[in-house]
Structure 1
Amino acid sequence: MVAMPTDRPSLLPPGSSDLERAVDRASARVGDVAADLGALWNPATCPIELLPWLAWALSTDIWDPDWSEARKRQEVAVAIAVQRRKGTRGTVADLLARFDELLELTEWWETVPPGPAHTFSVILPIGAGGGDRATAAFARAIVRDVSRVKPARSHFILVQSLQASAEQLIYGGAQLLAFVRHGFVADDDEPDIYLLTEDGEPITDEANVPLEEVG
């Protein structure tokens, strides 16, 4: 028979098994471990190795293990405020600003003529030199994170516009509007990148196949 600590009466009934009493005793020891819950729930003082769990507990939608410690603590610190505004234009705009200051958000009613209801476009002008913002990986990251904070009823497209030699080409990846086009599907986590005209129509080859970005 496993003896119980004399300073802690057991709540188990007299007929409890040895295993039940052993678990009860182990739980008693765990309860004696000192833990500063206030520090653990504070983004500024939570141990860095436990910070991902605090982020999960506070429903942080966006998390990257490669962020700096300061960035991780900041994201956790604003988690509750973000959740209060989640699903609003302001939340999407704040997210885009963290990605790149050149990103523009245009809602359906701001276009001429107005687009399909409850849709919006995310537009990123890029220079002829390209750079990180011109890559498919950058586009996929924007689509992924915007999808997590946008209004549930809204659909959007991401367009990267390239100004080169006085002719504007637009290439974009769409995470769909209210309809399926150019082979995209609503749950596509890695949208293809197609060349589009200024009017948003695909640039095709002689076989009428949309031209896709390479590399």
Structure 2
Amino acid sequence: MIEIHNLKKLFKDKIAVNIPSAHFMTNANVCIMGNNGAGKTTLLRLICNLLSPTEGYVNYTDFANKIFDSRKVAAFLDESFLFEYLTVSEYFELIISINDLDKIKFKNSLKIWEAFFDYQKNKNVLISNLSVGNRNKVGILSAILQNKPLLILDEPFANIDPSSQNILLSFFKENKKSQSVTILLSSHNIDHSFEIADQVILLENGAIIQNSTDILNSKQTILNYFNK
């Protein structure tokens, strides 16, 4: 679904992303790893069409003319995707409206995710008054429940409780089996990444230094990288 060609992003004279070529698997879980400042978030923002590249381009091979199509992409990268002056219910209504979703189906899906996020308890709470973890859960759910062919999440395990992390892991594992959606996510959690990944990408200084679909054999190499 995603092909990168000579992609480069500079902020003044600092190179944030520099990837000559890369291909991400379709209908699979693609996990991007790297230390802080490696370029993970910048790469995701380029793929989400939130940043313009300095050079190069991204091809979306399953989209018309291989160009970005917001109707087929759902993402949650950080709290800037939220509107803190809205209640949780109002925010979900906005997501439903913007994306022309089936309201009944969306609300029924929220019930399925009740153990992850208690919508009934929090629906009338302003997003600004939620804990950091619950704000992240609202953003994650708003992306997942759009049921689009490309789902992009930046650090989805961050700041959420272990029980909720396990629910999220189960969702990613199910996608690994069903191969129904292309999920692109970044994570600092190595164990979680290797549990769910079909493809692992390791970034350093904006460049891909490892790109592997041989998950079992690449794990030790990546563990060694973070332990050096």
- TM-score bin, normalised by smaller chain: under 0.3
Highest CA radius of gyration, 1 or 2? 1
The structure in which a higher percent of residues are helix is 2
Structure 2 length-normalised TM: 0.23
Structure possessing the higher relative contact order (Cα contacts under 8 Å, 6 or more residues apart) = 2
Structure 1 length-normalised TM: 0.24
The structure in which a higher percent of residues are strand is 2
